[in-house]
Amino acid sequence: MPLGDDGHSWKKKTSDVKENYDFKEILGTGAFSEVVLAEEKRTQKLVAIKCIPKKALEGKENSIENEIAVLHKLKHANIVSLEDIFESKTHLYLIMQLVSGGELFDRIVEKGFYTEKDASKLIQQILDAVKYLHDMGIVHRDLKPENLLYDSMEEDSKIMISDFGLSKIEGSGSVMSTACGTPGYVAPEVLAQKPYSKAVDCWSIGVIAYILLCGYPPFYDENDAKLFEQILKADYEFDSPYWDDISDSAKDFIVHLMEKDPRIRYTCDQALQHPWIAGDTALDKNIHESVSAQIKKNFAKSKWRQAFNATAVVRHMRRLQLGTSQEGPSQTTLPSTLRAHLLLPEATETEHTTGQWGKPPSHNTS
């Protein structure tokens, strides 16, 4: 079905989107789109615009319509929003919320102090957002640290879930069986090619919580077949010395999410009620040195991340700050390793992260 012929009232017709927005810089390119940093003329607000030529969508209309249908429904404080949609004769323009606080791992490494309590607060925000998705009948299917971005550069910035290229809106009582997601974060039932549902996201949150507390993934092998075998068996451990100072409550929380059987795996609701999230069992002990050392060793930037023109947003923010403040700390508070990202909901299949999952944790944290 041709785009624009489906009667979606949420698309605004335009002859030229640049009547509404000043295009600044290209932030990145995807499989069939380009993402541009832009400023809305009326409000002077910075946004990210995903520009999709219709020619590139021939035969792919369903996938992009699925992304838009998912994104347009979502309004949550911890989910990057699709703010507007414009359609011209040649292009579709998705006006996205711009998030400029960088990636989760970058922020943890930059910190000098990091505790279980910090990790618990992060996971609570993720659980809140994913519970919202699940209540809306949406399964994310590709939750991973790379899709968790900070809203701003502020110390207390909230975390945001992005990238809905693999999302699926569940029909009533439906189950899904399409294999998708990123190796290492994918639930056993997905690898087993069994029908699955919302529980796959809860498994992924368990994997993320595991990494947040030690800095390395629960499953690792240079051989994909062996890696998948570990996941299928839910064969992971809380290795010494990395987990020696982590609370039993944190481990219990992870065990309930990284449960092989999806029928008894914790739901978001159950996880939100666990003492490690809702109570006071998360410890205040500083685990930054060990965790940040492992993150740096086990999660090298992918080539795509390195190629992504993240500095364009940082340069823009810096210019704005210099233009509005001639003195004070705001000019020097941008960390050197800051990354600025935005939602790039490409309809891609599995992103293979060889290298991130191909080695065990180093036993030298110095």
Cβ(131)–Cβ(269) below 8 Å: yes
- Between the alpha carbon of residue 216 and those of residues 74, 79, 291, the distances in Å are 31, 25, 8
Of 34, 12, 54, 18, nearest to 308 by C-alpha is 34
The number of angstroms, rounded, from the C-alpha of 305 to the middle of its chain's C-alpha atoms is 13
Cβ(162)–Cβ(228) below 8 Å: no
Residue of 84, 142, 163, 201 marked active site: 142
Q: Binding site: what residues are annotated?
A: 55
Structure tokens at 13: 């017709």
For the chain, list the strands marked E by DSSP: 12-13, 21-29, 34-40, 46-53, 82-87, 91-99, 138-139, 148-150, 159-161, 168-169, 341-342
CA dist 140 and 134 (Å) reads: 9
Rounded to the nearest 10 degrees, what angle do helices 199-214 and 248-257 cross at? 150
Q: Binding site for ATP: what residues are annotated?
A: 55
Q: Could you give the 3-state DSSP secondary structure of residue 62?
A: helix
* Torsion sign (Cα): 106, 111, 116, 119: negative
Cβ(260)–Cβ(233) below 8 Å: yes
Cβ(74)–Cβ(83) below 8 Å: no
Cβ(198)–Cβ(134) below 8 Å: yes
Q: Kindly tell me the burial class for residue 130, based on how many C-beta atoms sit within 10 Å of its own C-beta (0-12, 13-18, 19 or more).
A: buried
**Catalytic residue list contains 142:** yes
CB atoms within 10 A of CB 265: 23
Q: Catalytic site residues?
A: 142
